[in-house]
Amino acid sequence: MIKQFTFNHFEVNCYLIVDEAAKRCAIVDPAAEASYEDCQLADYIEREQLQVTHILLTHAHVDHIAGLRQCCEHYGLPVTMHAEGRKLLKQAEAYGSIMGFAVDNMGDLDVVEIEDNQVLKIGNTEVECRYVPGHCPGSMCFVVPSEKAVITGDALFHFSIGRTDLPGGDYPTLIEKLKTRVLTLPDDYRVLPGHGIASQIGKEKKYNSFLN
């Protein structure tokens, strides 16, 4: 199961990848900004009697990591991310002051680095890590075959793509990676983006004007 929450004033989609049989879960993009949002996430995890095994980042833009420190400290876990995102993690406090997020320095958090094509296990649920830069360095998509779903962060949205005009963005790279690393998934896979509504791979192939 994949459970969605929407947090903070940028309306970021935070996901829980849940192995219901094993009672294990991973938090993807802990974006809770306010204390009531922190409680919403923690209360659900406690109510469902889940054990958090991973805290994953699609990328380290500040709106997606607004609640990262709280999650890491609460669950006693490192952050799992691509190595290329470390610089953004260290810059989170500075970017937060510009974008209206009161976040602490994230540079001292423990990090477990993941690589392209690496497979993680959440209980018995496999999560394939696919490196899809272009929106920003370190951007990952997480494929969950058992759910026929891919969590795309800010790389791919419903009939749109992530912006590439921020530092480290690159439009040709994003297009190439989306076509070769995401749109190659089966048409019936759900696309679960970092903002906005869900889509399907088949629909993106047909109707996304950036990609077809």
If one compares 144 and 62, the residue with the highest pLDDT of the two is: 144
pLDDT surpasses 70 at 18? yes
Tokens at residue 207, please? 């109707």
Taking domain 2-207, whether its CATH number is 1.10.1060.10 is answered by no
The domains of the chain are located at 2-207
- The tens digit of pLDDT for each residue in 129-164 reads 999 999 999 999 999 999 999 999 999 999 999 999
pLDDT at residue number 107: 80
- The tens digit of pLDDT for each residue in 83-129 reads 999 888 887 666 655 666 777 777 889 999 999 999 999 999 999 99
- The tens digit of pLDDT for each residue in 34-56 reads 889 999 999 999 999 999 999 99
pLDDT at residue number 37: 93
Instruction: Indicate the average pLDDT of the chain.
Output: 94
What is the secondary structure of the chain as a DSSP string?
Answer: -EEEEEETTTTEEEEEEEETTTTEEEEES----SHHHHHHHHHHHHHTT-EEEEEE-S---GGGSTTHHHHHHHHT--EEEEGGGHHHHHTHHHHHHHHT------TTS-EEEE-TT-EEEETTEEEEEEE--SSSTT-EEEEEGGGTEEEEETSEETTEE----STT--HHHHHHHIIIIITTS-TTPEEEESBS--EEHHHHHHH-TTT-
